[in-house]
Chains A and B, each alone.
Chain A
Amino acid sequence: MFSWARRGVPGSMAALLATVMAAVAAEPGHFGYGTVPTPQQIAGWDIDARGDDGVGLPPGSGDVSKGEAVFAEQCAACHGTFGEGEGRFPKLAGGIGTLKDDRPELTVGSYWPFAPTLWDYINRAMPMPAPHTLSADDVYALTAYILSLNNIVPNDFVADRNSLARIKMPNRDNFLWTDPRPDTAAKPCMSACADPGAVKITSTAEGKDLTPRTTGPLDDMRAK
């Protein structure tokens, strides 16, 4: 940028011009490209439901027994009849109380902090082969069924925009939503940083037979 002052423009004038230019750049519609979406266009894509308070959940409802039927048809092939997960597909139920274990089980019941997030995710991303094709009522029913599999709601629970927002998930209070890192504050030592006798190999990938080949065609190795 050139300097106004060097070109003999008084300082106050330069400041005024800068203000005007900034205001023009920040003015909505400055470029004027595109269109203002219609309410119908916005409604079609405005699918999000907020996790912590359920804002955005649509009208409708579904209960546990209907959810069981929809689940059997749409979900059980991957997630198992009772949410136990087939193969490496995600387990949806169980694991409550295991988060401090050596091998914790992270499921909707043991890990997810917010119930409305479950409705939002099923609605936007499931079932995997045909995402965002279920009715709001079916998604409510599935949400009710998965919560019941985790014993978070009774078997006569009806999920709707109000009831989901009121549920307190078991792991709700165990999340820190601000990043405390850095975790380490090492100083960059340059010489004799460790006792040579203390430098020991504690684990090696050698011989573990977990690594797909990295030459030739793609490897199709399966779980050992």
Chain B
Amino acid sequence: MLAKLAQRRNVALGRRAILGLGAALTGTLAFGRDGAHAETSETSPPADAPWSQSIGAGVVDRPYGKPADFEAGVIRRNVPWLTAGTESSISFSPLQHLNGIITPNGLFFERYHAGRPDVDPDQHRLMIHGLVERPLLLTMKDIVRFPSVSRIHFIECPANGGMEWRAAQLNSLQFNHGMISCAEWTGVKLSTLLEEVGVKKEARWAMVEGADGAHMNRSLPLDKCLDDCLIVYAQNGEALRPEQGYPLRLVVPGWEGNVSIKWLRRIKLGEKPWYSREETSKYTDLMPDGTSRGFTWLIDAKSVITFPCPERPLSGPGLYEIRGLAWTGNGKVKRVDVSLDGGINWQTAQLHEPVLSKALTRFSLPWRWDGKPALLESRVIDETGYVQPTIAELRRQRGSNSVYHNNSIQTWQVKPDGSIFDVQLG
């Protein structure tokens, strides 16, 4: 009865509703997500909008939900000129449109070395062998039976910000900082699995390896494996996305993302590191004197203002809330300071709960903008007392060719028209 009534009403309203919605859609899409939504007489007071005078789609219209069509521009993006192809490449999370500390699964940044494999979970196996008492071959069904834990941690590619070592290049929050994402991971502690196989006393290192075409492998000290590493099968409440290692990945909290091997298929214990390609020719830091650093796993403390930013400029003088994210591989964020004048004076921002170890942490500061030029910066201090450095300080130590681990302070230049630019200060 209700359905019949609704159907009759929809037929009557149909043409007008479709026309109205069409106008609204066209307006929004034409302006892009950042533009003002089209204000038409049909969707603004005193008129009722078409969606207020019709019945909407029913349950299971979309059995697996998706964002509103109006959010179509909120996507991972890449820098096409950066890499030879997309199979060994990166994409960036749209931090300018994200709120809170959890990255939606469809927007988690991607890093592949041989593309994204489609792994059949029924055929996937995890082998643990080497210097162990009892080698083990586990199916996914076996793995989910182990005691499970859930932890919120960020994963950051150490090359995040790597294009800015020499100078400001990319006018974008997404492209300069979007190789970080944060999720709630569920799985089994690696220490539980290592206890199950029995670690031989001469073992000091683990080699972890993926089932992708790169057979991506890295060495990890056994101490870290036993401390807080997780073998996870779920991300924000659902199975891992293929992009993040479905059906099984390693999460190494607080360390460079490359060691959190995706599509994990093998763990081998040994007495020495393996010195694989990914920890010798890549993911090493070339210093100005020609020497290089290897095994630089830690993600140093870092923060960035996510509003305003080049993608989200200011719309005239008035009161704003400066918002941002801070994180550190050392543990918890202790404090974030914000400067409006390029680092001459600082004010302490408010941290937002939850403040979790090795997770993204939100901060904010109210700001009444007078319409004059400004240089916005944020600076994090972590629980070890480590203070995020300026790019000039960092460059004095590392030069411009170390590619990885650029955790320097980001400066956003605010122009009188409200536009924002990525700049570096001397």
Expressed in whole angstroms, the minimum distance between the Cβ of A184 and any Cβ of chain B is 4
- B99 an interface residue at 8 Å Cβ cutoff? no
Evaluate contact between B300 and A181: CB separation under 8 angstroms.
Answer: yes
Of B55-63, B77-85, B357-365, which stretch is located at the interface?
A: B77-85
Evaluate contact between A199 and B343: CB separation under 8 angstroms.
Answer: yes
Evaluate contact between B387 and A204: CB separation under 8 angstroms.
Answer: no
Of B142, B209, B293, which contacts A179 at CB under 8 A? Answer: B293
Contact A34:B344 (CB < 8 A) given known A128-B114, A176-B293, A215-B73: no
- A8 an interface residue at 8 Å Cβ cutoff? no
How far does the alpha carbon of A189 sit from the alpha carbon of B387 in the complex, in Å? 10
Of A45-53, A134-142, A151-159, which stretch is located at the interface?
A: A45-53
List of A residues within 8 angstroms of B169 by Cβ: 205, 208, 210
Evaluate contact between B341 and A175: CB separation under 8 angstroms.
Answer: no
Q: Specify the chain B residue showing the minimal Cβ separation from A88.
A: B84
- B26 an interface residue at 8 Å Cβ cutoff? no
Evaluate contact between B217 and A88: CB separation under 8 angstroms.
Answer: no
Contact mask for chain A residues 157-201; partner B; CB cutoff 8 A; 1 contact, 0 none = 000000000000001001111111111111111111110101111
Evaluate contact between A206 and B397: CB separation under 8 angstroms.
Answer: no
- B9 an interface residue at 8 Å Cβ cutoff? no
How far does the alpha carbon of A161 sit from the alpha carbon of B162 in the complex, in Å? 37
Evaluate contact between A28 and B293: CB separation under 8 angstroms.
Answer: no
List of A residues within 8 angstroms of B209 by Cβ: 48
Evaluate contact between B280 and A113: CB separation under 8 angstroms.
Answer: yes
Evaluate contact between A177 and B295: CB separation under 8 angstroms.
Answer: yes
Evaluate contact between A215 and B33: CB separation under 8 angstroms.
Answer: yes
Of B78, B143, B345, B425, which contacts A191 at CB under 8 A? Answer: B345
- B283 an interface residue at 8 Å Cβ cutoff? no
List of B residues within 8 angstroms of A88 by Cβ: 82-84
List of A residues within 8 angstroms of B266 by Cβ: 45
List of B residues within 8 angstroms of A218 by Cβ: 75, 77-78
Expressed in whole angstroms, the minimum distance between the Cβ of B115 and any Cβ of chain A is 9
Q: Which of A72-102 contact B (CB under 8 A)?
A: 78, 87-89, 99-100, 102
Contact A211:B389 (CB < 8 A) given known A99-B290, A175-B291, A204-B423: no
Evaluate contact between B113 and A108: CB separation under 8 angstroms.
Answer: no
How far does the alpha carbon of A221 sit from the alpha carbon of B286 in the complex, in Å? 29
Of A10-18, A59-67, A116-124, which stretch is located at the interface?
A: A116-124
Of A46, A114, A125, which contacts B280 at CB under 8 A? Answer: A114
How far does the alpha carbon of A224 sit from the alpha carbon of B81 in the complex, in Å? 8
Evaluate contact between B277 and A204: CB separation under 8 angstroms.
Answer: no
Number of A-B contacts (CB under 8 A): 280
Evaluate contact between B265 and A45: CB separation under 8 angstroms.
Answer: yes
Evaluate contact between A51 and B77: CB separation under 8 angstroms.
Answer: no
- A26 an interface residue at 8 Å Cβ cutoff? yes
Evaluate contact between A174 and B290: CB separation under 8 angstroms.
Answer: yes
How far does the alpha carbon of A129 sit from the alpha carbon of B80 in the complex, in Å? 20
How far does the alpha carbon of A25 sit from the alpha carbon of B387 in the complex, in Å? 40
Evaluate contact between A186 and B387: CB separation under 8 angstroms.
Answer: yes
Evaluate contact between A30 and B290: CB separation under 8 angstroms.
Answer: no
Most buried by A among B281, B288, B293, B298: B281
- B346 an interface residue at 8 Å Cβ cutoff? yes
How far does the alpha carbon of A193 sit from the alpha carbon of B379 in the complex, in Å? 13
Contact mask for chain B residues 343-381; partner A; CB cutoff 8 A; 1 contact, 0 none = 111100000000000000000000000000001000101
Contact A222:B421 (CB < 8 A) given known A131-B214, A184-B389: no
Evaluate contact between A41 and B127: CB separation under 8 angstroms.
Answer: yes
Evaluate contact between B345 and A192: CB separation under 8 angstroms.
Answer: yes
Contact mask for chain B residues 195-212; partner A; CB cutoff 8 A; 1 contact, 0 none = 111100000000101000
How far does the alpha carbon of A202 sit from the alpha carbon of B167 in the complex, in Å? 8
Of B129, B197, B337, which contacts A28 at CB under 8 A? Answer: B197
Contact mask for chain B residues 139-151; partner A; CB cutoff 8 A; 1 contact, 0 none = 1001101100000
Expressed in whole angstroms, the minimum distance between the Cβ of A68 and any Cβ of chain B is 22
- A104 an interface residue at 8 Å Cβ cutoff? yes
- B228 an interface residue at 8 Å Cβ cutoff? no
Contact mask for chain B residues 232-244; partner A; CB cutoff 8 A; 1 contact, 0 none = 0000000000000
Contact A203:B280 (CB < 8 A) given known A50-B272, A182-B386, A212-B79: no
Residues of A within 8 A of B (CB): 25-31, 33-37, 41-42, 45-48, 50-52, 78, 87-89, 99-100, 102, 104, 106, 108, 111-114, 117-118, 120-121, 124-125, 128, 131-132, 171, 174-194, 196, 198-206, 208, 210-212, 214-216, 218-224
- Which 7 residue pairs are nearest across A and B when measured between Cβ atoms? A51-B275, A28-B198, A203-B167, A121-B277, A124-B215, A215-B32, A205-B171
Residues of B within 8 A of A (CB): 32-34, 73, 75, 77-84, 87-88, 94, 96, 113-114, 127, 129, 132-139, 142-143, 145-146, 167-172, 174-175, 195-198, 207, 209, 213-217, 265-266, 268, 270, 272-277, 280-281, 284, 286, 288-298, 300, 310-311, 335, 337, 341-346, 375, 379, 381, 386-387, 389-390, 393-394, 397-398, 400-401, 405, 413, 421-426
**A–B pairs, 12, beta carbons within 8 Å:** A27-B198, A99-B292, A104-B401, A113-B275, A125-B277, A175-B284, A182-B300, A194-B343, A202-B167, A204-B413, A205-B310, A222-B80
Known: A184-B387, A192-B344, A214-B77. 20 other contacts (CB 8 A): A30-B196, A33-B142, A35-B136, A48-B207, A48-B217, A48-B268, A87-B84, A114-B280, A117-B281, A121-B281, A125-B215, A181-B405, A184-B389, A203-B424, A205-B422, A208-B169, A211-B171, A214-B311, A215-B73, A219-B80
